[in-house]
Amino acid sequence: MILVTTETVPGRKIKKVVGLVRGNTIRARHIGKDIRAGVKNIVGGEITDYTKMMAESREQALDRIIEDAEALGADAVIGLRFTTTSMMQSAAEFLVYGTAVELE
């Protein structure tokens, strides 16, 4: 599966637009990690627990958009975009969306 943020796939022609596809995940923070993050906020530095959580969320969302696109018979997803939304005080949604297409 080809995933691009551009509106075309370089060197390929789009044969058919299949439709909107998306993948998402919602993650909640762990209270113990929040305490460590609070300490990091005071002393400074990267909050590696949250960096790891966001990386895992991004990969899971990408896996899900690929499944969605493959189910529609697509070869690629163009115009890929990522977004996050706070669902509640300790949980957030990570969403990736784009346009599934068939290539020549």
**What is the per-residue pLDDT across 18-58, written as a single tens digit (0 to 9) for each?**
999 999 998 876 555 555 555 555 666 777 777 888 889 89
pTM > 0.85: yes or no = no
Q: What does the domain layout of the chain look like in residue ranges? A: 2-103
The neighbouring-strand residues paired with 22 are 97
Task: Please state which CATH class domain 2-103 belongs to.
Answer: alpha beta
Q: What is the identity of the amino acid at 1?
A: M
Tokens standing for residue 54: 């966001």
DSSP three-state, residue 89: coil
Residue in the structure block whose two tokens are 């909107």: 20
Tokens standing for residue 55: 């990386």
pLDDT at 44: 67
